[in-house]
A and B are shown apart, each in its own frame.
Chain A
Amino acid sequence: MQFLAPLLLAGTVLATAPIIIHLLNRRRFIRVNWAPMEYLKLTLKTNKRRLRLEQWLLLAIRTLAVLALFFAVARPISSGTNLAGFLSVEGRASRVIVIDDSLSMSYQNGEQPAFERAKNAARQVLNQLGPQDSVSVVLASNPAQTLVRTAHLEENERNKLIARINELSNCQMASHWISTLEDIDRQLQEATFPVKEVIIVTDLWAAGWTVEVRDLFDRWSQEQVTVRFIDIGENPAGNRVLHSLELDSRIALVDQEVKLTAVIENAGEEPLKYGQALLTVDGNVTPVTLPEIPADKTVEVPVTVRFDQAGQHVVTLSIPADKLLADNIQRKIINVRQLVDVVLVDGEPGLNPFDSETDFLALALSAGNSNWQVTQSESSTWKTQLLTAPDLIVLANVDQLSKERVKELEELVSLGTGLMIFAGDQCDLELYNERLFKGGKGLLPARIHQIRDLSSQGLVIEPIADSPIEMLKGLTPELLSRVRPRRFADVTLDPNSDQQQVRVLARWNDAQQSPAVLEKRFGEGRVMFWTITADKSWSDWPAEASFVLAMRVAAQEIAAEIQRGENLTAGEPIHYELETITAPQSGELLWLDQESSPLEITFGTINETKTMLSSAPIRFAGVVEATWKDTQLGDQTQKFAINANVEDSLQKKLDEQALQQFLGRMPLKLIRYQGKEMDLSTEGTELWRYLAVLLLGCLISESMLATWIGRRR
């Protein structure tokens, strides 16, 4: 509680006046020599309690009336949470006010989103601080860029700062408190006053709080840094999150169905029935009927789109609105290509149809599939040619590769080109192991032990998530049981290899469950090793229909991904490699779906071979377009989609006990603002009217009570 005229509070000492008058009155008496003392005492004894109660009541009302009078004239102002007392420190202080502007601060359960309440709280905190203190104000998502730094705020400066705060919007990044607090720690090192204080205005949602902050808080506790929390958040009361919108395959081709999967979580207590999402493709909106999503469940919703032109396309999916709108939208930049370039390196060319090692492969990939441009190349020729950068390279029964060619292949694959390797009689196993396996560091997923005969009952697809040949699991067991190779390349898995990098996708149905198909992630690309030949020399499978399906699926999944960093999450910077050597001079980054000021982009080169387009971390979600002028290619544009970081949508709020665990030895100082009104500071309601009413009531009561008591009874 604050007083606009606190000096008048001194008048409250007059509240003792009724007591003093009462005592003085007891000195004004007449003395009577009285005979019937027994009857007097009898009467007094009978009425003693009533008389005493009446006197105390009257005295209390009179005292209260005096108190009410002087409290009223001192003009008290309500401050339900006593913010001034909460912020009070001894001496001058260096304060850093941190305003949480993460995604969860958009949550709106009442009339105002959490971020508006946070701004309101920050304003009122600033109004409480005098110019003697040094103040820095930062946003949690961008602590390095302060709104004001170690300033001593006079009224004008404070008003300007408040105006800036009023214009702020919260970003769509996830909280990451350790990095925020570490940045603030650096600012505190520069603080001038010995009393240091960090005021964190936050919704206290659990996302972003990690145990690493405990060490920092412990150190602050030792350094006498005070941390005060202003909790402006409300308890989460349900939310729907569109977690992701991902392409099912690595490539999207013109005039082909492109399948996407949307992951939707219903983190509320009510099921979502008859929901309808809106799918926007290059501005054209199409409704998508959602399945029923039970409460507290996550579902995957398939979405299919088709593009008739190559190039960049913006796909946006938005689910029905809820209390946190920012996590209901996912944007996706899809690079649609006209063709997929495949090079088949034939290690055993033949003169007649299907004599060559790669004839069955070429047929499987190109038949009825005009988007796949398949080029067959004899290995002897390919080894000497300058290596191009196709989307997929298939080495079929290639005897050996030079070290230089292996190095070139490694570079290509690491940049995203897919590589399929088929075994064969011509393969020089020793060289393969030496140059391609490289003790587990090369392209080959496993060491080839030997070529040996096999008696298998078919092919077994391993149940692995995100397997490139996962679709083959849909085939009937009879079809897979007919895949019976006579010979195969027996491989030995390196027990020290990373399980995430090397996986056995399928095994032969023999006694040893020998690996049939192996995959290795190598940089951005994938390598798939088939332990049989691509022709019919080791098995009759290439003549089977299932071979066509298997090859197409595998090729599509490991072919070079044509996404190159266009899809970002809020908080990430743009880091995009340009197809030019000379770095452009300048460019700009414009928002396509909102009216915000342009962002800065920079161009630079890495090792004088790569030209990169870069930006600072982008804190807001949306679609941006970078434009620049290339000296060779002319005007260039590139779109980027920035999605909200839905990690911050975690529906959990820290209570005091949970927060204290993160604080370690730092004592918890927390103030909560809840309800409709944020009534914290001297801008609060003046209370003198209520006190005047109280005073009037006291006076009336006193008059009535005094009359009633003073009557002759």
Chain B
Amino acid sequence: MNEYLNPEIIGRIAGIGFKTRQPVEGTIAGLHRSPLHGLSPEFADYRSYTPGDDLKNLDWKAYARSDRFYIKRFEEESNLRAVFIVDSSASMAYGEPAFSKYDCAATIAVSLSAVLLKQRDAVGLAILNDRVQEDLKTGSTPSHLAKFMEVLQRTKLVGETDIGPAVSQVADQIHRRGVVVVLSDLLTPLDRFYESLGKLQHAGHEVIVMHILHRDEVEMPFKDSVIFKDIEGDEEIFAEPWAFHKAYQAAMEQFIQETRLRCQYCGIDYLPVLTDENLGVVLSSYLHNRQFAGTKTHRGRMSSLDSQPDVKKQRDEITGNSPAPEMNKRP
């Protein structure tokens, strides 16, 4: 039952916590900045009194000093509504039975959810492949985590990866600004996926993309002849991997870098994760970096990235501001 609940990981990241880098709208007071001004110990600014204002917000001391009526305004600190979108296509099953990409994604989702719930934040879950398979509404009670894990565990990994439309569908259902964490191998039609990310951003959500890959998929370490069978289809290809090993690695590297570039260009956190990495280290490092990273800058739509004159220069510049680490290479 508690397959994805890893106390070691949670213990490692619980102390760091998870804070949004942009205001979010919650239902109860919490750790996170809210776009609403209301009851909050944090003073924001003054404004002139207008008839009808609640007199309790009148700053009498200021009236005494200046003989004018000022109303004190306070920043509202809200709780966070985080939605985890987990890819459940068949490709996420790679790595079974030991530790598949889905297992990795689920573990990350559960670990972060546990931390968030501890912060009294609300977490939701959407499991999807080419359509939404499961949709767990946000909740902030400790028992919600159990439901969270139950949904993850009962999910069957089937279907093709085309999460773009499904993510768009989920975006339409999230009415308050929050955090959306996408956990996928991104072996999907990327244009539609990027489009859905844009939609999430436009709705004011902070988006985090966690790119879950198995090390085999990145390095192709096979020494024998291999028949590669499409995990989501019937196609089979016979190949001798040693003959094009580096070319494949280069192609995958370009895929990762391209995704990183596009995400960061749009102000999306991009975190590549290999399934054999120590997730506690990866997440704690990421969360730690988030604390010190500045506010994300949204520079434009993903589709406009291709028209930039000097993509490489931009990519380098963007990468420098990213809290996400480079993908770990096996020594």
Contacts and interface: CB of A to CB of B under 8 A. Distances in A.
Do the two shown chains form a genuine complex with each other? yes
A29 B238 contact: yes
Interface stretch (A123-131, A271-279, A331-339, A704-712): A704-712
Given A36-B187, A40-B228, A713 B243 contact: yes
A29 B229 contact: no
Given A34-B231, A37-B230, A37-B235, A44 B222 contact: no
Interface stretch (B41-49, B114-122, B248-256): B248-256
A609 interface: no
Given A26-B238, A39-B248, A709 B225 contact: no
B243 A54 contact: yes
A42 B251 contact: yes
Contacts of B185: 35
A32 B227 contact: yes
B237 A40 contact: yes
Contacts of B214: 35
Contacts of B245: 712-713
A713 B231 contact: no
B299 to A, nearest CB: 27
B318 to A, nearest CB: 23
A712 to B, nearest CB: 5
A35 B232 contact: yes
Given A32-B222, A42-B251, A713-B247, A37 B228 contact: yes
Contacts of A710: 242
A47 interface: yes
Q: Which of B224, B244, B245 has the most CB of A within 10 A?
A: B244
A657 interface: no
Contact of A36 (B93, B233, B239, B252): B252
Q: Which of A29, A36, A712 has the most CB of B within 10 A?
A: A36
A29 B243 contact: no
Contact of B244 (A31, A37, A47): A47
Interface in A3-45: 25-26, 28-44
A51 interface: yes
B247 A29 contact: no
Contacts of A29: 224-227, 238
A77 B226 CA distance: 47
A397 B242 CA distance: 125
Interface in B229-282: 229-233, 235, 237-240, 242-248, 251-252, 255
A43 B242 contact: no
B91 interface: yes
B91 A35 contact: yes
A38 B217 CA distance: 12
Given A39-B251, A43-B251, A30 B238 contact: no
A46 interface: yes
B217 A36 contact: yes
Contacts of A28: 224-225
B69 interface: no
Contacts of B251: 39, 42-43
A41 B185 CA distance: 18
A710 B229 CA distance: 23
A44 B237 contact: yes
Interface in B121-148: none
Contact of A34 (B230, B243, B244, B255): B230
A548 to B, nearest CB: 113
A47 B187 contact: no
A37 B160 CA distance: 12
Nearest to B254: A39
Contact of A30 (B226, B230, B232, B244): B226
Contacts of A35: 91, 94, 185, 187, 214, 217, 231-232
Interface size class of A (residues with CB under 8 A): 20 to 34
A709 B243 contact: yes
B158 to A, nearest CB: 13
Nearest to B255: A39
Interface in B167-199: 185, 187
Nearest to A42: B251
A46 B94 contact: no
A43 B253 CA distance: 12
A713 to B, nearest CB: 5
A3 B225 CA distance: 42
B225 A31 contact: no
Interface size class of B (residues with CB under 8 A): 20 to 34
Q: Which of B222, B224, B248 has the most CB of A within 10 A?
A: B248
A53 to B, nearest CB: 11
A33 B231 contact: yes
B222 A51 contact: no
Contacts of B226: 29-32
B243 A51 contact: yes
Given A26-B238, A39-B255, A33 B247 contact: no
B330 to A, nearest CB: 14
Contacts of B244: 43-44, 47, 51, 713
A25 B226 CA distance: 11
Given A35-B185, A36-B252, A25 B227 contact: no
Contact of A32 (B229, B233, B242, B255): B229
Contacts of B235: 37
Contacts of B232: 35
Contact of B222 (A25, A30, A41): A30
Interface in A695-711: 709-711
A34 B248 CA distance: 13
Contacts of B222: 30, 32
A51 B242 CA distance: 11
Given A36-B252, A37-B235, A37-B237, A43 B247 contact: yes
A605 B248 CA distance: 110
B16 to A, nearest CB: 32
Contact of A46 (B233, B247, B255): B247
A28 B223 CA distance: 12
A31 B231 contact: no
Contacts of A33: 93-94, 229-231
Q: Which of A41, A43, A712 has the most CB of B within 10 A?
A: A43
B239 A44 contact: yes
B247 A38 contact: no
A46 B238 CA distance: 15
Nearest to A41: B237
A37 B214 CA distance: 14
A38 B189 CA distance: 11
A711 B231 contact: no
Contacts of A44: 237, 239, 244
A35 B255 CA distance: 14
A30 B243 contact: no
B67 to A, nearest CB: 72
A30 B247 contact: no
A26 to B, nearest CB: 7
A559 to B, nearest CB: 105
21 contacts: A25-B225, A32-B222, A32-B227, A33-B93, A33-B94, A33-B230, A35-B187, A35-B231, A36-B255, A37-B228, A37-B231, A39-B252, A39-B255, A43-B251, A44-B237, A44-B239, A51-B243, A54-B243, A712-B242, A713-B242, A713-B243
Given A34-B230, A40-B239, 13 more contacts: A29-B226, A29-B238, A31-B227, A32-B222, A32-B228, A33-B229, A35-B91, A36-B187, A44-B237, A47-B247, A51-B244, A712-B242, A713-B242
Interface of B: 91, 93-94, 185, 187, 214, 216-217, 222, 224-233, 235, 237-240, 242-248, 251-252, 255
Interface of A: 25-26, 28-44, 46-47, 51, 54, 709-713
The 10 closest A-B pairs by CB, nearest first: A35-B91, A34-B228, A29-B225, A33-B231, A43-B248, A712-B245, A37-B230, A47-B244, A31-B227, A39-B251
